[in-house]
Amino acid sequence: MDIIEQFKRQLEGVQISPEIEEIGEVVEIKDGVAKISGLRGVENFEIIEFDGSGRGLGKTAIALDAIINQKNEKDRPKCIYVACGQKKSKIKKIIATLEKAGAMEYTTIVCAFPDDPAGFIYLAPFAGASIGEYFRDNKQDALIVYDDLTKQAWAWREISLILRRPPGREAYPGDVFFLHSRLLERAAMLSPEMGGGSLTALPIIETQAGDISGYIPTNVISITDGQIFLNSTLFKKEQKPAIDVGTSVSRVGSSAQIKAVKKVAGRLKLDLAQFQELERFSEFTEELDPQTKKTIERGKRMTILLRQNDLEPMPIEKEVIVIFTGVNSDIEEVAIDKIKDFEK
């Protein structure tokens, strides 16, 4: 056996027992973000991707919201945050945030800094996955955040080029898809016979100039159960979280939503999608029929209602009330500057 292959197997190889069985049961992970719960929800053992065109859009904040929001859960999952190529200053802020929220007692942080060797950055997600699997295989639930897998792909490209492996598209090696698939498919929920533990993965990908069709984003999208795309244009309009409804897709439908959310949120995605389309159309004309104007005014108020500060997860009961209010009330009759008071 080639010594490099042997080294790789020792470091990243995980022996999956053939007796392990996945089960298709749906158990929601409460992320504390009303807009995510209303659009799709997150379930145990699911793999959800956060895409964002550039830095500072709130990708990490949404993931931290999901970790912090587990604090009050009866059977809260163990959380693992993998910082892959992140600056030390950012990690210090994240640790301080989690400590302030009381979330560090159930959270493990795995770090590989930008000035570390490429091998460390490449291996950090695998180390985090191994920790998550330990909890999963011991009849517990675990939630792991990979922040972000783009940097892991860059590290693997660097290693492969040093090893003189044939470069492919964008100079990535031919097995870059296998790199992420073998990592993300370790997220699973075991059958009751195997203990019933679960591992849920939330990978973060940074897109280049908002191009969701890039090589790494499309690879990870094809593996995950859905993606949440953050749009810089919405962010500049102070829409937080800046979730682009049109490109945020679920491949499990409403099965990840609890019954209360499913009942009140049926129209939410359609209403927001119609609003965004009509708002773009209204930039080119002032002659709008009354129904179109009503839809736009309603959409403006609904987006304000769904605004949420970073690192302030919302209890599920409040999420249900907020979504119900936005979808079913005559919210277009409320003045825009009174929306947050109306929410309270």
pLDDT of 42 above 70:
no
Task: Indicate if 315 and 233 belong to the same structural domain.
Answer: no
What is the pLDDT of the chain when averaged over all its residues? 80
**Does residue 251 carry a catalytic annotation?**
yes
Q: Which domain holds residue 36?
A: 17-258
Spot the catalytic one: 251, 280, 301, 307.
Answer: 251
Split into its structural domains, the chain has a count of 2
Task: Indicate if 47 and 183 belong to the same structural domain.
Answer: yes
Task: Indicate if 160 and 77 belong to the same structural domain.
Answer: yes
Task: Indicate if 140 and 242 belong to the same structural domain.
Answer: yes
> For residue 25, what is the enclosing H or E element?
none
Instruction: With CA atoms as reference, report the closest residue to 203 among 24, 334, 50, 316.
Output: 50
Please report the pLDDT score of residue 30 as a whole number: 55
Task: Indicate if 189 and 288 belong to the same structural domain.
Answer: no
Last residue of a domain, one of 234, 258, 282: 258
- For residue 1, being part of any structural domain is answered with no
What Cα–Cα distance (Å) separates residue 73 from each residue in 76, 77, 197, 327?
5, 8, 16, 27
Please report the pLDDT score of residue 45 as a whole number: 47
Residue 198 dihedral angles phi and psi, to the nearest 5° = -145, 155
- For residue 31, being part of any structural domain is answered with yes
Q: Which residues, listed in sequence order, are joined to residue 189 by a DSSP beta bridge?
A: 198
Task: Indicate if 147 and 176 belong to the same structural domain.
Answer: yes
Task: Indicate if 253 and 281 belong to the same structural domain.
Answer: no
Q: How far apart are the first and last CA of the chain?
A: 65
- For residue 10, being part of any structural domain is answered with no
Q: Are strands 42-43 and 28-29 parallel, antiparallel or unpaired?
A: antiparallel
- For residue 149, being part of any structural domain is answered with yes
Task: Indicate if 73 and 220 belong to the same structural domain.
Answer: yes
Q: Are 131 and 80 in contact (CB under 8 A)?
A: yes
Instruction: With CA atoms as reference, report the closest residue to 181 among 105, 125, 246.
Output: 125
- For residue 12, being part of any structural domain is answered with no
What confidence tens digit (pLDDT) does each residue in 314-339 have? 777 788 888 887 777 667 777 777 77
- For residue 4, being part of any structural domain is answered with no
- For residue 135, being part of any structural domain is answered with yes
CA distance 294 to 215: 40
- Lowest mean per-residue pLDDT among 6-15, 29-38, 55-64, 115-124: 6-15
CA distance 325 to 136: 38
Task: Indicate if 190 and 208 belong to the same structural domain.
Answer: yes
What confidence tens digit (pLDDT) does each residue in 87-116 have? 999 999 999 999 999 999 999 999 999 999
CA distance 194 to 191: 5
CA distance 200 to 143: 5
What confidence tens digit (pLDDT) does each residue in 144-157 have? 999 889 999 999 99
Please report the pLDDT score of residue 110 as a whole number: 96
Please report the pLDDT score of residue 331 as a whole number: 74
pLDDT of 8 above 60:
no
Please report the pLDDT score of residue 27 as a whole number: 45
Task: Indicate if 162 and 294 belong to the same structural domain.
Answer: no
Write the CATH number for 284. Answer: 1.20.150.20
Write the CATH number for 124. Answer: 3.40.50.300
Task: Indicate if 316 and 182 belong to the same structural domain.
Answer: no
Please report the pLDDT score of residue 24 as a whole number: 42
CA distance 170 to 150: 13
- SS3 annotation, 78-109: EEEEEEECCCHHHHHHHHHHHHHCCCHHHEEE
pLDDT of 119 above 90:
yes
Please report the pLDDT score of residue 29 as a whole number: 56
Specify the amino acid at residue 6.
Q
Q: What percentage of the chain reaches a pLDDT higher than 70?
A: 81
pLDDT of 272 above 60:
yes
DSSP 209: T
Task: Indicate if 24 and 158 belong to the same structural domain.
Answer: yes
Q: What is the CA radius of gyration of the chain?
A: 21
